[in-house]
């Protein structure tokens, strides 16, 4: 089956009611027929649901769909994207191990890698994702994993997955890719050798700003380790959120098509405005990594970044003049969202650290929504040109 069909047709078995839409199983635990069945399931001799922290049919449906869409053997769903990222580290890394991570990762991931993992004796180094030739010199005998995101937030750098896959094979590292910005519809890191693919399902997977969720997809044996870690530590996804996310996947492809179409139009429009210094969109020919983007992504994605002339004050003024776009921390929503990283998400960094992360004072990030294009351009124009 093709991507769109799998996203719609993969579902748990129907109940005796023969419901057409997918059922939801909001239960904390499951009952056993007798003592022997209970013993066998606890002993892992017989498959079956025991307790929703371990498995739940609504959660399992979401996991099976995500594994099918990412082209991986299996998946484990978590309560948030950060729980997925954290579990994907803790299931594999021991004290004394070494992790390489791209420097341009989601803010909370940067904190986990840079501050928490070292507290537990896990050594970490940040690498420049756009300069893969520099990675080899940072590999040590105890290096276990390379973690990266592409496209990155908020600078929309594109990191070469084919190179990363080859690099990890050669150095015997687990390649772990946060595929949140692209979704499996635009990019499947497993095709390039990623053994672990993590997601914040909060973003495009839900796509309507309703629930938090995450998922770790990957090779069977590796996902089993993640499941073992999470079964005891408890970051499980709720059945209700899993049900919402499974339904959302049914429209992922069609939503992403429109997100990308609108984003590409907005990017082209921005390049024509004198108030704009620079436009960043992976499928614009002016993007430094556009050839890599075209090789590994089906379309350019739903995010556009641009640099407004006039620095921090111009950036803040632009946000204040917007009438329709939401000022919000989320992305991947039906609603267009604008953020100004230098005065918000990255305000605590030193100017040098901000520059290293590609965040200039006038950088604006737009998560382009599904409103009519005339209204999106209209709001942008009245806020930028006035
Ligand atoms: C939002 C986000 C996360 C964290 O996800 P939550 O669901 O908010 O915990 C991780 N990685 C990326 C790239 C994100 O955008």
Which residues span the domain enclosing 34?
A: 3-249
Instruction: Among 77, 106, 330, name the best residue to mutate to test ligand 1's pocket (greatest count of ligand atoms within 8 A of Cβ).
Output: 106
216 shares a domain with 286: no
Mutate to test the pocket of ligand 1, among 78, 79, 82, 187 (most ligand atoms within 8 A of CB): 82
How large is the C-alpha radius of gyration of the chain? Answer: 21
Calculate the dihedral angle through the C-alpha atoms of 176, 93, 154, 315, rounding to the nearest 10 degrees.
170
CATH number of 265's domain: 3.90.1150.10
Q: How far apart are CA 346 and CA 356, in angstroms?
A: 12
Q: What is the pLDDT of residues 350-363, one digit of tens each?
A: 888 888 778 899 99
Query: What is the distance between the alpha carbons of residues 285 and 281, in angstroms, rounded to a whole number?
Result: 9
Task: Specify whether 234 is located in the same domain as 275.
Answer: no
> What pLDDT, in 10s, does the model give residues 168-192?
999 999 999 999 999 999 999 999 9
Bridge partners, residue 124, by sequence: 99
Does residue 62 have a cis bond before it (omega within 30 degrees)? Answer: no
Based on the fold, state whether residues 63 and 195 are members of the same structural domain.
yes
d(CA 199, CA 112): 16
Q: Are 76 and 230 in contact (CB under 8 A)?
A: yes
pLDDT band with cut points at 50, 70 and 90 for residue 386: low
DSSP codes, 302-369: SEEEEEETTHHHHHHHHHHH-SSSEE-S--SSSS-EEE-GGGTTTTTS-HHHHHHTT--TTEEEEE--
Query: Sheet containing 74-78: which strands, arranged edge to edge?
Result: 74-78, 214-218, 196-200, 174-178, 143-149, 98-102, 123-127
User: Taking CB atoms and a 6 Å cutoff, what residues make up the pocket around ligand 1?
Assistant: 80-82, 85, 106, 109, 149, 153, 178, 180-181, 200, 202-203, 212, 214
259 CB contacts (<8 Å, ≥6 apart)?
204, 301, 302, 332, 368, 369, 370
Distance 149 CA to ligand 1 centre (A): 11
**Alpha carbon 215 to its chain's center:** 9
- For the chain, the farthest-separated pair of C-alpha atoms sits apart, in whole angstroms, at 75
Examine the domain organization and report whether 302 and 203 are in the same domain.
Answer: no
Nearest ligand 1 atom to alpha carbon 149: 13
The answer on 302 and 194 residing in a single domain is no
pLDDT tens-digit map of 302-312? 999 999 999 88
Specify whether 182 is located in the same domain as 98.
yes
**pLDDT mean over 15-35:** 94
Residue 152's pLDDT band, with cuts at 50, 70 and 90, is very high
Q: Domain ends where: 215, 249, 283?
A: 249
* Residue 74's CATH number: 3.40.640.10
Report d(CA 109, CA 183) in Å as an integer: 18
Q: What residue's CA is closest to ligand 1, atom 2?
A: 200
Is-contact 74 60, C-beta < 8 A? no
Q: 88 with 202, same domain? A: yes
Query: Looking at ligand 1, which atom is closest to the CA of residue 214?
Result: 7
151 and 43, same domain (yes or no): yes
Co-location of 64 and 158 in the same domain: yes
Q: How many CB atoms lie within 10 A of CB 54?
A: 16
The per-residue pLDDT for range 209-255, each reduced to its tens digit, is 999 999 999 999 999 999 999 999 999 999 999 999 999 999 999 99
Q: Which of 180, 181, 196, 345 to mutate to test the pocket of ligand 1 (most atoms within 8 A of CB)?
A: 180
pTM: 0.96
- Considering the chain, what is the average pLDDT of its residues? 96
pLDDT at residue 299 in the model? 98
Give the Å distance between the CA of 89 and the centre of ligand 1: 15
Q: For the chain, what percent of residues have pLDDT higher than 70? A: 100
Question: Quick one: which atom of ligand 1 is closest to the CA of 85?
Answer: 10
Residues 236 and 280 in one domain: no
**DSSP classification of residue 371:** S
Residue 107 phi, psi dihedral angles, 5° rounding? -50, -50
Q: Are 338 and 365 in contact (CB under 8 A)?
A: yes
228 close to 107: Cβ distance less than 8 angstroms:
no
H/E segment holding residue 373: helix 373-385
Query: Which of the listed residues 202, 226, 249 is the one where a domain comes to its end?
Result: 249
Q: In angstroms, what is the span from residue 339 Cα to ligand 1's centroid?
A: 15
Question: What pLDDT, on a 0 to 100 scale, did the predictor assign at position 348?
Answer: 80
- Cβ atoms of 56 and 49 within 8 Å: the answer is yes
The answer on 242 and 323 residing in a single domain is no
Domain closes at, from 233, 249, 265: 249
Task: Please provide the size of the chain in residues.
Answer: 386
Domain count, the chain: 2
Clarify whether residues 235 and 262 are in a common domain: no
pLDDT at 282: 98
CA atoms 363, 161, 149, 134: torsion sign: negative
Of the pLDDT bands very low, low, confident and very high (cuts 50, 70, 90), residue 335 is very high
CB 380 within 8 A of CB 323: no
pLDDT band at 7 (very low <50, low <70, confident <90, very high): very high
């Amino acid at each position: 089956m093709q991507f769109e069909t799998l996203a719609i047709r993969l579902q748990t078995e129907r109940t005796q009611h023969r419901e057409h839409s997918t059922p939801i199983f909001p239960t904390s635990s499951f009952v056993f027929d007798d003592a022997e069945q209970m013993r066998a399931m606890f002993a892992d001799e017989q498959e079956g649901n025991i307790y929703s922290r371990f498995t739940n049919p609504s959660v399992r449906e979401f996991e099976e769909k995500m594994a099918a869409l990412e082209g991986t053997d299996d998946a484990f769903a978590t309560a948030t994207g950060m729980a997925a990222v954290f579990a994907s580290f803790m299931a594999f890394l021991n004290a004394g191990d070494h992790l390489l991570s791209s420097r341009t990762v989601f803010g909370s991931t940067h904190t986990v890698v840079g501050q928490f993992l070292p507290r537990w004796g896990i050594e970490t180094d940040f690498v420049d994702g756009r300069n893969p030739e520099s990675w080899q010199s940072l590999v040590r005998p105890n290096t276990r994993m390379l973690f990266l995101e592409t496209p990155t937030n908020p600078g929309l750098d594109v990191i070469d997955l084919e190179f990363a896959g080859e690099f990890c094979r050669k150095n015997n590292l687990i390649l772990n890719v946060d595929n949140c910005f692209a979704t499996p519809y635009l990019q499947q890191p497993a095709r390039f050798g990623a053994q672990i693919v993590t997601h914040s399902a909060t973003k495009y997977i839900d796509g309507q700003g309703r629930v938090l969720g995450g998922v770790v997809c990957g090779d069977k044996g590796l996902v089993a380790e993640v499941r073992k870690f999470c079964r005891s530590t408890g970051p499980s996804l709720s059945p209700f959120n899993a049900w919402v996310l499974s339904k959302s996947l049914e429209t992922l492809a069609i939503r992403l098509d429109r997100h990308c179409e609108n984003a590409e139009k907005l990017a082209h429009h921005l390049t024509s405005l004198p108030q704009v210094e620079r436009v960043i969109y992976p499928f614009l020919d002016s993007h430094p990594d556009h050839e890599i983007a075209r090789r590994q992504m089906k379309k350019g994605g739903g995010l556009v970044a641009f640099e407004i002339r006039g620095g921090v004050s111009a950036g803040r003024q632009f946000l204040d003049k917007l009438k329709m776009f939401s000022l919000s921390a989320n992305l991947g929503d039906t609603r267009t969202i604008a953020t100004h990283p230098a005065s918000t998400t990255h305000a605590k960094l030193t100017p040098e650290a901000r520059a290293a992360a590609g965040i200039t004072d006038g950088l604006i990030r737009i998560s382009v929504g599904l409103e009519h294009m005339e209204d999106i351009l209209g709001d942008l124009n009245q806020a930028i040109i006035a």
